[in-house]
Amino acid sequence: MSKARSLARKRAVQALYMWEMTSITLSDIDQQFVLEHDMSKVDLKYFQELLHQIPAHVDEIDDHIHALLDRPLEEVDPVERAVMRLGVYELQYRPDIPYKVVINEAVEIAKTFGAEEGYKYVNSILDGVAKKLRAAEVKAKKPS
């Protein structure tokens, strides 16, 4: 797991939060992050993939999350919602990334940016999504 990719995920969560909380376009957010944040150590290509592809697939991503929530998605903390969306995107569209890496990275981002215990909620939701989307991989990792 590369540091550049971890930084791309962190920046993407910040950018997705901005996308959801403002009326700024994805292109403008993309430009703003490149100009106003230190992106020198960030996997910029991956950041841009996440920033543009998660909103493009947000309805499908949210469907996976909805199925496991104990409340409406709109009531989930917006930072945690952005982290969950990133995790579900990677689980669904990036099979090259092991599911444990996806969940671990999301939990770490939730610990950094989310509410005090929010990472536990993120972990449980992504674990449930992984069991559905990556069933064979999850099953293969469990000792028999």
pLDDT tens digit sequence for 77-102? 999 999 999 999 999 999 999 999 99
pLDDT digits (tens, 9 = 90+) for 32-62: 999 999 999 999 999 999 999 999 999 999 9
Note the pTM of the prediction, 2 decimals.
Answer: 0.94
Residue count of the chain, please give it: 144
Which residue ranges form the domains of the chain, and what is each CATH number?
3-136 (1.10.940.10)
